[in-house]
Amino acid sequence: MAISMLQGSLKYDADRKADGTGDGMRVPIVLQNLGTGWTIPIMPNENGDWTIRNVPDGDYQIVEQQGYQVSNVWTSDLDYASNGSSAPRITEAKLPSVQEYNQQSSPVTIHAPGKMTKGSSNVINGVSETTKLFSVQGSSVSWRTNGEKNTLSTVASSNDNDIKKFLTILNGPSKNTGFEDELKNQGITIDSANLISGGPPGSFSADNGTFGSYPQGTPIDSIMPSPPYNDLKSSFNYINGYPEDGQYNVENTKAHLNGSNATWWNLAGHTTGDERDKFAIVNGSNPGQNILSQSVAVEPNTAYLASAWVANMLKTRASNFKLPQGKLEVTDTTDPSNPKILYSNNLGTSLEANLDHPEWKQFGDIIRTGGATRQLTVNIISTGPSGDGNDYAIDDVTLRKVLKKRPP
């Protein structure tokens, strides 16, 4: 059997509302039968819409694939049997860069170019899943949302919009503000290898300080049900849900809370910026307590770059909302009875809420070990009390060796 028609969209959600609306994007979408490998690339029309007809029973994925090259990719209405070929499974989505959007050249076209770089954004990432997993059975389409199965039949025309909404992929603006380009300009080279790595399964270092990843197509707002790491020392309580004061969780792209009245951004992780990317969300409290603590063996008389990426969850600057209150601290813990702080930096006003889009900022600096140093401990510490605001996300915690220092 075959469903007569599947319809979906690719939208640019400039305000990251995650309500299924936005300006149309013309970036290739690929439908792939996960059982047979039959693969159909299709180019959405100027409104971001696409249609594929006569889709047989089976398990499928649709994936955003910037740069996918094939002769019929510019067509927005295709027949399944007549317009595909066998291909290896696509294992990750590919989103266009801001630069590619701005160039306005084939194969990237957009319907509303002025909104692609809202504010000071320099990253395009996922607002929804950038891969959608679903099944076709007769006239029905089934998919899962956070463990709940949704099955809608196209026989009931009222379901068509809900199916299309599920098959709609949303991109949106974000910003990454780091300092490593400036270090390169100063002639400083940093090793790419993170020393917070290589640990046994179940350890924070096993995921290289990134908080790990989910499989492609995992629904957004998927929270780890229990503390994911047995060695991540934290004074905060883990919660499988929305973190209240003094709590944290680990999840992927954060959906809106309270719809249009949301005070938090729809936020994608810093590592890959799609639904695979997990990160920690902290609701600040307990001043002086560790949110995260990780010890690493190091070499004496050696320079290292310690850093972490942090984002303010808030999208408002209302006076009653506090800024994130925490600090990144690196301590020489070679002698646990006599720890020595080598670096400490409060997040402070540098994490003012960005009103245009979410923003990940890199915190850290180069530190140098002493002649007797054998172990460093990287801490992220709460510095503020509970209350409105003081909510932030953490990703990509690293300690890396400096390979080339500043020239004299």
* Residue 186: CATH number of its domain: 2.60.120.260
User: What pLDDT band is residue 171 in, cutting at 50, 70 and 90?
Assistant: very high
385 vs 65, residue with greater confidence: 65
Give the torsion sign (CA, 360, 345, 364, 210): negative
User: Are 186 and 153 in a shared domain?
Assistant: no
217 and 143, same domain (yes or no)? no
pLDDT at 158 over 90: no
What's the DSSP call for residue 356?
A: S
Residues 182 and 166 in one domain: no
Query: Does residue 325 share a domain with residue 228?
Result: yes
**Is 214 found in the same domain as 132?**
no
160 pLDDT more than 90: no
Burial class (CB in 10 A: 0-12, 13-18, 19+), 20: middle
pLDDT band at 59 (very low <50, low <70, confident <90, very high): very high
pLDDT tops 60 at residue 105: no
| DSSP-derived secondary structure letter, 11 | E
CA distance 305 to 194: 10
Same domain? 289 vs 379: yes
Residue 376 CB contacts under 8 Å (≥ 6 apart), including other chains: 295, 296, 298, 304, 306, 330, 331, 332, 333, 342, 367, 369, 399
Helix residue spans in 228-364 (DSSP H)? none
Residues in the chain: 408
Place of tokens 């639904």: 275
At 361 the pLDDT is 96
pLDDT (0 to 100) of residue 119: 67
* Of 142, 157, 173, the domain-final residue: 173
Rounded distance, CA 142 to CA 153, Å? Answer: 9
Both 221 and 90 in a single domain?
A: no
Q: Are residues 143 and 92 in the same domain?
A: yes
Average pLDDT over residues 229-254: 90
Contact at 8 Å (CB) between 248 and 218?
no
Residue 55 to residues 8, 48, 50, 167, Cα–Cα distance (Å) = 13, 20, 14, 14
Domain boundary among 113, 143, 173: 173
pLDDT in tens, 363-383: 999 999 999 999 999 999 999
Res 338 pLDDT > 50: yes
Residues 331 and 356 both lie in one domain: yes
Instruction: Say how many domains are in the chain.
Output: 2
pLDDT score of 203: 85
The two tokens of residue 199 are 């640990």
Q: Say if residue 146 is in the same domain as residue 212.
A: no
Q: Are residues 279 and 168 in the same domain?
A: no
Residue 232 backbone dihedrals phi, psi, to 5 degrees? -90, 95
**Pick from 115, 142, 173: which residue ends a domain?**
173
Q: What is the pTM of this model?
A: 0.93
Range of the domain at 330: 178-404
Taking 80 as the threshold, does the pLDDT of residue 117 lie above it?
no
130 and 237 both lie in a single domain: no
Give the pLDDT confidence score for residue 112 in this predicted structure: 46
Q: What is the radius of gyration, based on Cα positions, of the chain?
A: 23
